[in-house]
C-alpha cells in the first residue's frame, strides 16, 4: 500500500534580488517529500538555504517557482485567505525561543493564541484545560501558565514554543535550528522531547540543523543541502555508513568526536572539498540513496 506523503516539494526555487540584477538562488530546484510520522533531517552549513527552504515549504515566504503539496493539495497556488485554514496543519518551531515569544504575553496567552485564532476550543474553561494539557506534554508545570517568557531558561522557552506549535495537532512541524542556541545537555532534552511528542502525536517533522551529529539521533532520512540544492539524500543509517557526496564527507569530517585524545590526533580533510555547482537531478546509487554527480561549476 502506497503512503501519501504529508508534504511534497517539486522543483522549489526561491530567488532574491541582487544589486547586479541577476538575482540569487537561495533555493534551487529542490525536490523532497516527508511521509506521515517521519522525520527528515535537513543539514548544511550557514547560508546553504536550509531555513529559506523551510519557510518556503510552509509558505511563510512564497517560493519563486515550483509546487508544494500538502496532503496532495497544491498550496503554492492558494491565496493567503484560502491557505489560512490549512495553516493549522503545518507549524514551525523557531531557532531563537527568546525572539519568537512575545515578552508582553503570559505563557498561557502564547500557547492559547493559535487555538483562539483557529476557533479550536470553545469557552475559557476548555481553553485553560487545553493549555494545561499542552504544558504537561512539554513537561512544564501548570503554574508556568501565569508567568512571562523572560522568567524561563532558554530550554524552557523552547518548550513553550513547542507547546504552541503542537496546540492544533499539526500534521507537519518544521523545526528550524530548534536546538542550535541551547547548551548541549539541553539540546538532548529538547530532541528527546520532540521524539517523544512525535511518537505520541504522529506528526511529520522537517528537522533543520547544521550539525550532522545532532540530526543523526532524530532523523529517519537526511537531506544534505549545499548552495541551495540537495546534493545527497539517504536514510540516516546509509548516509553515515556510506557518505557518497564530497560535501557530505566534508561535513562528517568536520564534526567533532567526544574523545579528546582522538580529536587531538585525527587527520581531517576539510580543505580537500572543492566548491562546485552540482546538478539538481539526483542519481539513485542504492535503494533510497540519492546523490548529485560531481560536475564542475559552469562558466559564466
Per-residue model confidence as pLDDT tens digits over 69-121? 999 999 998 999 999 999 999 999 988 888 889 999 999 999 999 999 998 88
* Percent of the chain with pLDDT strictly greater than 90: 72
Residue 296 in this model has a pLDDT that exceeds 50: no
Per-residue model confidence as pLDDT tens digits over 25-81? 899 999 999 999 999 999 999 889 999 999 999 999 999 999 999 999 999 989 999
Higher pLDDT, residue 297 or 24: 24
Q: Taking residues 13-36, report their average pLDDT.
A: 88
Instruction: Name the pTM for this structure.
Output: 0.89
Contacts of 20 (CB under 8 A, 6+ apart): none
What local confidence, expressed as pLDDT, does residue 255 receive? Answer: 66
CATH fold of 7-291 reads Rossmann fold (3.40.50)
149 and 99 in contact (C-beta within 8 Å)?
no
Going from N- to C-terminal start, the domains of the chain cover 7-291
**DSSP track, 117-143:** HHT-S-SHHHHHHHHHHHHHHTT--GG
Amino acid at each position: 500500500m502506497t503512503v501519501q506523503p504529508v508534504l511534497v516539494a517539486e522543483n522549489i526555487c526561491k530567488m532574491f534580488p541582487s544589486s547586479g540584477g541577476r538575482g540569487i538562488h537561495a533555493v534551487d530546484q529542490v525536490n523532497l517529500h516527508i511521509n506521515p510520522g517521519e522525520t527528515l533531517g535537513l543539514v548544511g552549513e550557514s547560508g546553504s538555504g536550509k531555513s529559506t527552504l523551510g519557510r518556503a515549504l510552509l509558505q511563510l515566504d512564497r517560493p519563486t517557482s515550483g509546487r508544494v503539496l500538502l496532503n496532495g493539495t497544491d498550496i503554492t497556488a492558494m491565496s493567503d485567505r484560502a491557505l489560512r485554514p490549512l495553516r493549522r496543519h503545518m507549524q514551525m518551531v523557531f531557532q531563537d525561543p527568546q525572539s519568537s515569544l512575545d515578552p508582553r504575553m503570559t505563557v498561557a496567552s502564547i500557547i492559547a493564541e493559535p487555538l483562539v485564532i483557529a476557533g479550536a476550543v470553545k469557552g475559557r474553561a476548555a481553553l485553560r484545560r487545553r493549555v494545561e494539557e499542552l504544558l504537561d506534554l512539554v513537561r512544564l508545570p501548570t503554574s508556568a501558565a501565569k508567568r512571562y517568557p523572560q522568567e524561563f531558561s532558554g530550554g524552557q522557552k523552547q518548550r513553550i514554543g513547542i507547546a504552541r506549535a503542537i496546540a492544533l495537532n499539526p500534521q507537519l512541524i518544521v523545526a528550524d535550528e530548534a536546538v542550535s542556541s541551547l547548551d548541549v545537555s539541553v539540546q538532548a532534552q529538547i530532541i528527546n522531547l520532540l521524539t517523544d511528542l512525535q511518537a505520541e502525536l504522529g506528526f511529520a517533522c522537517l528537522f533543520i540543523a547544521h550539525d550532522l551529529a545532532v540530526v543523526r539521533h532524530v532523523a529517519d532520512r537526511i537531506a544534505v543541502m549545499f548552495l541551495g540544492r540537495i546534493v545527497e539524500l539517504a536514510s540516516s543509517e546509509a548516509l553515515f555508513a556510506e557518505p557518497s557526496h564530497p560535501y557530505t564527507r566534508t561535513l562528517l569530517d568536520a564534526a567533532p568526536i567526544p574523545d579528546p585524545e582522538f580529536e587531538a590526533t585525527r587527520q581531517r580533510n576539510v580543505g580537500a572539498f572543492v566548491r562546485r555547482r552540482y546538478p539538481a537531478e539526483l542519481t539513485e546509487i542504492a535503494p533510497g540513496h540519492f546523490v548529485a554527480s560531481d560536475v564542475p561549476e559552469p562558466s559564466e
